[in-house]
Amino acid sequence: GFAEKSGLIAPEVHRVLEACDAAGVPASMTMLGNGVFACGEAAERVLSGFGEVYRLRVARRGAYIIEMKP
- pTM of the predicted model as reported, rounded to 2 decimal places: 0.77
- Which pLDDT value is given to residue 8? 81
Question: Residue 53: its pLDDT value, please?
Answer: 95
In DSSP terms, 36 is beta-bridged to 29
- Looking at the chain, how many residues does it have? 70
Gyration radius from the chain CA atoms: 15
What are the tens digits of pLDDT across the range 33-54?
Answer: 889 999 999 999 999 999 999 9
The distance in angstroms from the start CA to the end CA of the chain is 44
Instruction: Read off the pLDDT of residues 7-33 as tens digits, 9 standing for 90 and up.
Output: 888 999 999 999 999 999 999 999 888
pLDDT at residue 51, rounded to an integer = 95
Hey, which residues does 29 pair with through a beta bridge?
36
Is 16 within 8 Å of 47 (Cβ atoms)? yes
